[in-house]
């Protein structure tokens, strides 16, 4: 069922589209087309949950009661590229792969190292997404975001607490971002883009249903022989692999044989299967190394009290 509040589109009992392709529904899902409509969403529920591509998201089987706000609307998909200054103004609902193609075609370097994973610009900024070839914050200069009282803020990169898979922006609703890129040879950039995509395809199960890495790479509190020195960040995938978890399954959820930090799902899987398997993996890694893995994947549930 669809209802409108001053033209704000709200669907009842709506599916929440995620890359796992499983999980529960939203009691109400809003699709704002403007900042004014985003403010209306906040008037309905100031603790609303913001949805990008759902590429880092697991929704519990019972769905969510909080208003879900999808930013993948035309109103948040504008892209303006100035090839002379290298400035790129982009709406938070724009798909990162699309922006990468556009900037590479415009002969601008900076984003091509992020090729090969799904994200909206908003979701990528929140997660400070990235990998071997860089992160979204590397060339970001500004974010424009709404607070939960409906006020807009312009945040310079220096105002934001970016670190590994962290932005500290989760309490805000990201509306747009500005990047500063440098001119470069488009053919070289295309070759780099292909190299990144090939790296991803060879090392991660890109054709299966997942939310990317399930756990964050932990920083060692103390040195562990054969693993790393205290204070260093080590690969969660390596720990999961060495703890013997590759190939583990729980009903429709499996630990990928290609990359142990990816949990993949079959169409009949339940969100509960993923949560249970993640708990089993976390316990095994703790029992083997004494290290507690933190979730990278964001989990939404009906009894959720705070925004992750």
Tell me which of 8, 42, 48, 49 binds ligand FAD, using CB under 6 A: 49
Cβ 82 vs Cβ 41: under 8 Å? no
Which of 16, 57, 79 is CA-nearest to residue 210? 57
Residue 265 in contact with ligand FAD, rule: CB under 6 A: no
Q: How far apart are the C-alpha atoms of 205 and 277, rounded to whole Å?
A: 17
Between 108 and 298, whose beta carbon lies closer to ligand FAD?
298
Q: How far apart are the C-alpha atoms of 154 and 37, rounded to whole Å?
A: 19
Between 103 and 135, whose beta carbon lies closer to ligand FAD?
135
CB of 127 to ligand FAD, least distance (A): 4
Q: How far apart are the C-alpha atoms of 157 and 146, rounded to whole Å?
A: 16
Which residues inside 167-196 make contact with ligand FAD, applying CB under 6 A? 173-174
Q: Which two tokens stand for residue 27?
A: 């009691």
Tell me which of 26, 143, 211, 214 binds ligand FAD, using CB under 6 A: 211
Q: Which two tokens stand for residue 77?
A: 């998909």
Between 212 and 218, whose beta carbon lies closer to ligand FAD?
212
Residue 298 in contact with ligand FAD, rule: CB under 6 A: yes
Binding mask 105-144 for ligand FAD (x = CB under 6 A): ------------xxxx-xxx-xx-xxx-------------
Neighbours of 57 (CB within 10 A): 22
CB of 123 to ligand FAD, least distance (A): 2
Between 232 and 308, whose beta carbon lies closer to ligand FAD?
308
Which residues inside 17-46 make contact with ligand FAD, applying CB under 6 A? 19
CB of 154 to ligand FAD, least distance (A): 15
For ligand FAD, the binding residues (CB under 6 A) are: 19, 49-57, 71, 92, 117-120, 122-124, 126-127, 129-131, 173-174, 206, 210-212, 298, 308
């Amino acid at each position: 069922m669809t209802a409108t509040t001053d033209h704000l589109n709200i669907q009842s009992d709506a599916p929440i589209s995620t890359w796992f392709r499983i999980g529960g529904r939203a009691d109400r899902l809003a699709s704002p087309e403007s900042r004014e409509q985003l403010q209306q969403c906040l008037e309905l529920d100031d603790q609303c949950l913001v949805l990008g591509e759902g590429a880092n998201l697991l929704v519990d089987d019972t769905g969510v009661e909080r208003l879900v706000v999808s930013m993948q609307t035309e109103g948040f998909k504008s892209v303006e590229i100035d090839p002379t200054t290298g400035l790129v103004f982009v709406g938070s609902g724009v798909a990162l792969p699309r922006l990468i193609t556009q900037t590479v075609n415009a002969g601008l370097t900076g984003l091509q190292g992020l090729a090969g994973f799904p994200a909206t610009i908003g979701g990528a900024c929140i997660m400070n997404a990235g990998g071997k070839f860089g992160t979204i914050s590397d060339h970001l200069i500004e974010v424009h975001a709404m607070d939960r009282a409906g006020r807009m803020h312009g945040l310079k990169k220096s105002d934001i607490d970016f670190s590994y898979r962290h932005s500290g922006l989760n309490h805000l609703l990201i509306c747009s971002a500005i990047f500063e890129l440098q001119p470069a040879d488009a053919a070289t950039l295309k070759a780099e883009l292909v190299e990144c995509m090939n790296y991803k395809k060879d090392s991660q199960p890109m054709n299966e249903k997942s939310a990317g890495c399930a756990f964050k790479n932990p920083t060692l509190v103390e040195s562990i022989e054969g693993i790393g020195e205290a204070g260093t960040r080590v690969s969660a995938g390596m720990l999961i692999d060495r703890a013997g978890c590759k190939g583990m399954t729980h009903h429709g959820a499996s630990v990928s044989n290609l990359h142990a930090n990816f949990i993949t799902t079959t169409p009949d899987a339940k969100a509960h299967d993923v949560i249970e398997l993640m708990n089993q993996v976390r316990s095994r890694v703790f029992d083997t190394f004494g290290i507690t893995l933190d979730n990278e994947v964001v989990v939404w549930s009906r009894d959720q009290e705070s925004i992750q």
